C-alpha cells in the first residue's frame, strides 16, 4: 500500500460524493450554534433534551473536579473505580428499576464489551440489518456465528433462531434505530427470545432519557422487565455528557466486570463526568417538559411536511429522516439548507444502504417552535425549486 493508492482511494470517495467533511463547532452544543464562523440553527445533534450545555451540569462537573480531581488514573479493576462512578451506577439501576448497572467509557465500547463477554465461538448472535455499527463490530469480534435479519422482520428472526444449534444465543437490536428513528418491536423480540432461550441485548442509545414518562427509555415505554434483557444506553446523547452503561441481572453484570475487555483494559472515565451525570439523571426524571416539548416539535414537523414535496420516514422519535435517494441529492438539499443557516446532516453509504441517502433531522427540546417552522419553510422552498 503506497501513499498514491491511499490518495486514489480518497479521490474516489470524493467523486462518489462519499467523502466526509468535519464542520467546526465554535460554541457549546445547542439548537443555536456557531459553526465555521456562522450563526446557525442546527438539527444535527443527539442532544435531545438540550442538556449538553446546561449550566447545572457544568456546575456539577466543576464540583466533581473539586472533589475528585480530573483523572481516574487507573482502570476500574485496579484502583480507578471511584465513589462517583459507583454512585452513578447505583442511581442508574435505581432509576431503571433494574438490579445492577455498570458504567462503560462510551457506547461503542459498551457494545463491544457486552457482546464479546456474552458470546464466543460456538455461540450465535442475531442482529437487525439496520443495527448500529458498534453492534455489528461487536458480533464480528466475538467470533460467534453472526446472522443478520431484514429490518424488523420477526418472521426471519424466528426462522434463524429455530434453525440455530448454537450453545448460547444472543439477539442484539437497536431499541430506536439510529438512522431511521423507528422503534424495534421489543415485545415480539422478547417473546422470540423466551421461546428460543436467547438473551436480548437492547441498545437504547436514542431512547434513554427520551422515551417513557420519566425518561426511563424503551423499557419504560413498553412497560417491560425481564431478566433476559441486557439493557444498554449511552450517556452522551439525551443525558448530555459522555459515557454509557449496561444494566440487567446481577449475574450478567458481574460477567461483564469479569470478562468485558473494553471494561477491563481501559482507564476509568474522569469522575467529574459521573458526577455531572448524577445531576443529569435528576433533571431527566423531573423535567418532563423537555420530553413534552420535543414531542411537540416532532408532531409539528411531521404535520407541516405532510402537505409539501418531501416525505419523511415513519418515525415517532426525535430522529426524522427525509430520504432523498442518491448521495448527490442529499448533499444538494443539505447545502441549500446550509445556505439558509440551517444545518441538517446528509447521511450517506456506508452508514445507510445505497439509494437510502437522507437528511437526518434531529429535533431537540432546545429548539423553539420558530426553529422548526424555519426548517419547514426552507424545505418547502427548496422542494419547489427542485
Ligand atoms: C451513538 C450510538 C452508540 C455509541 O455510543 P457512544 O457513547 O457515542 O460511543 C451505540 N449505539 C447506538 C445505536 C448509537 O446511536
Q: Of 264, 286, 308, which residue sits at a domain end?
A: 286
Give the separation between CA 109 and CA 31, rounded to whole angstroms.
Answer: 28
**pLDDT higher than threshold 90 for residue 384:** no
Q: Are strands 100-104 and 244-248 parallel, antiparallel or unpaired?
A: antiparallel
Q: What is the mean pLDDT of residues 331-355?
A: 93
Q: Of 227, 256, 286, which residue sits at a domain end?
A: 286
- Asked if residue 85 has its Cβ within 6 Å of ligand 1, the reply is no
User: 331 and 293 in one domain?
Assistant: yes
pLDDT in tens, 221-243: 999 999 999 999 999 999 999 99
Enclosing domain of residue 303: 23-49+288-385
Give the separation between CA 99 and CA 238, rounded to whole angstroms.
Answer: 23
The overall average pLDDT reported for the chain is 96
- Closest-lying ligand 1 atom to the alpha carbon of residue 244: 7
User: 168 and 77 in one domain?
Assistant: yes
Q: Is residue 192 part of a domain?
A: yes
Residue 198, domain CATH: 3.40.640.10
> Order of strands, edge to edge, in the sheet holding 32-35?
32-35, 38-42, 342-343
Question: Which residues fall within 8 angstroms of residue 114, CB to CB, at 6 or more apart?
Answer: 138, 201, 230, 232, 246, 256, 260
Q: Of 256, 286, 316, which residue sits at a domain end?
A: 286
Q: Is residue 115 part of a domain?
A: yes
User: 260 and 121 in one domain?
Assistant: yes
**pLDDT higher than threshold 70 for residue 386:** no
- Asked if residue 134 has its Cβ within 6 Å of ligand 1, the reply is yes
Taking the whole predicted model, whether its pTM rises above 0.75 is answered as yes
- Closest-lying ligand 1 atom to the alpha carbon of residue 235: 7
Out of 136, 204, 205, give the residue to mutate to test ligand 1, the one with the largest number of ligand atoms within 8 Å of its CB: 205
pLDDT (0 to 100) of residue 374: 98
Structure-block grid coordinates of residue 98: 433494574
Give the separation between CA 240 and CA 219, rounded to whole angstroms.
Answer: 20
User: 40 and 167 in one domain?
Assistant: no
Q: For the chain, how many structural domains are there in total? A: 2
**pLDDT higher than threshold 80 for residue 264:** yes
**pLDDT higher than threshold 80 for residue 177:** yes
Structure-block grid coordinates of residue 320: 426524522
Give the separation between CA 176 and CA 317, rounded to whole angstroms.
Answer: 8
pLDDT in tens, 91-113: 999 999 999 999 999 999 999 99
User: pLDDT band at 385, cuts 50/70/90?
Assistant: confident
Amino acid at each position: 500500500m503506497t501513499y498514491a493508492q491511499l490518495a486514489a482511494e480518497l479521490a474516489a470517495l470524493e467523486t462518489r460524493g462519499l467523502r466526509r467533511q468535519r464542520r467546526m463547532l465554535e460554541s457549546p452544543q445547542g439548537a443555536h450554534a456557531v459553526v465555521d464562523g456562522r450563526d446557525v440553527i442546527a438539527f444535527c445533534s443527539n442532544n435531545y433534551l438540550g442538556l449538553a450545555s446546561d449550566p447545572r451540569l457544568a456546575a456539577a462537573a466543576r464540583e466533581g473536579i473539586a472533589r475528585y480531581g480530573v483523572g481516574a488514573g487507573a482502570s476500574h479493576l485496579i484502583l480507578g473505580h471511584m465513589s462517583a462512578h459507583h454512585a452513578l451506577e447505583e442511581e442508574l439501576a435505581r432509576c431503571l428499576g433494574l438490579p445492577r448497572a455498570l458504567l462503560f467509557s462510551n457506547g461503542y465500547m459498551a457494545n463491544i464489551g457486552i457482546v464479546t463477554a456474552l458470546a464466543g465461538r460456538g455461540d450465535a448472535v442475531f442482529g437487525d440489518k439496520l443495527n448500529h455499527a458498534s453492534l455489528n463490530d461487536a458480533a464480528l469480534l466475538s467470533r460467534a456465528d453472526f446472522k443478520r435479519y431484514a429490518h424488523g422482520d420477526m418472521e426471519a428472526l424466528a426462522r434463524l433462531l429455530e434453525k440455530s444449534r448454537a450453545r448460547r444465543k444472543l439477539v442484539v437490536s437497536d431499541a430506536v434505530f439510529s438512522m431511521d428513528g423507528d422503534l424495534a418491536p421489543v415485545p415480539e423480540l422478547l417473546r422470540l427470545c423466551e421461546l428460543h432461550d436467547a438473551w436480548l441485548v437492547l441498545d437504547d442509545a436514542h431512547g434513554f432519557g427520551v422515551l417513557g414518562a420519566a425518561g426511563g427509555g424503551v423499557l419504560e415505554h413498553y412497560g417491560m422487565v425481564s431478566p433476559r434483557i441486557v439493557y444498554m444506553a449511552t450517556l452522551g446523547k439525551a443525558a448530555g455528557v459522555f459515557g454509557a452503561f449496561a444494566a440487567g441481572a446481577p449475574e450478567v453484570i458481574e460477567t461483564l466486570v469479569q470478562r468485558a475487555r473494553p471494561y477491563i483494559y481501559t482507564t476509568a472515565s474522569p469522575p467529574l463526568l459521573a458526577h455531572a451525570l448524577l445531576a443529569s439523571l435528576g433533571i431527566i426524571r423531573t423535567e418532563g417538559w423537555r420530553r413534552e416539548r420535543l414531542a411537540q416539535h416532532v408532531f409539528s414537523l411531521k404535520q407541516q411536511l405532510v402537505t409539501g414535496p418531501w416525505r419523511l420516514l415513519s418515525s415517532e422519535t426525535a430522529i426524522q429522516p427525509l430520504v432523498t435517494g442518491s448521495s448527490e441529492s442529499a448533499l444538494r438539499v443539505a447545502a441549500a439548507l446550509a445556505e439558509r443557516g440551517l444545518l441538517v446532516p446528509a447521511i450517506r453509504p456506508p452508514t445507510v444502504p445505497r439509494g437510502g441517502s437522507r437528511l437526518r433531522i434531529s429535533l431537540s427540546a432546545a429548539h423553539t417552535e420558530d426553529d422548526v417552522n424555519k426548517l419547514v419553510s426552507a424545505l418547502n422552498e427548496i422542494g419547489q425549486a427542485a
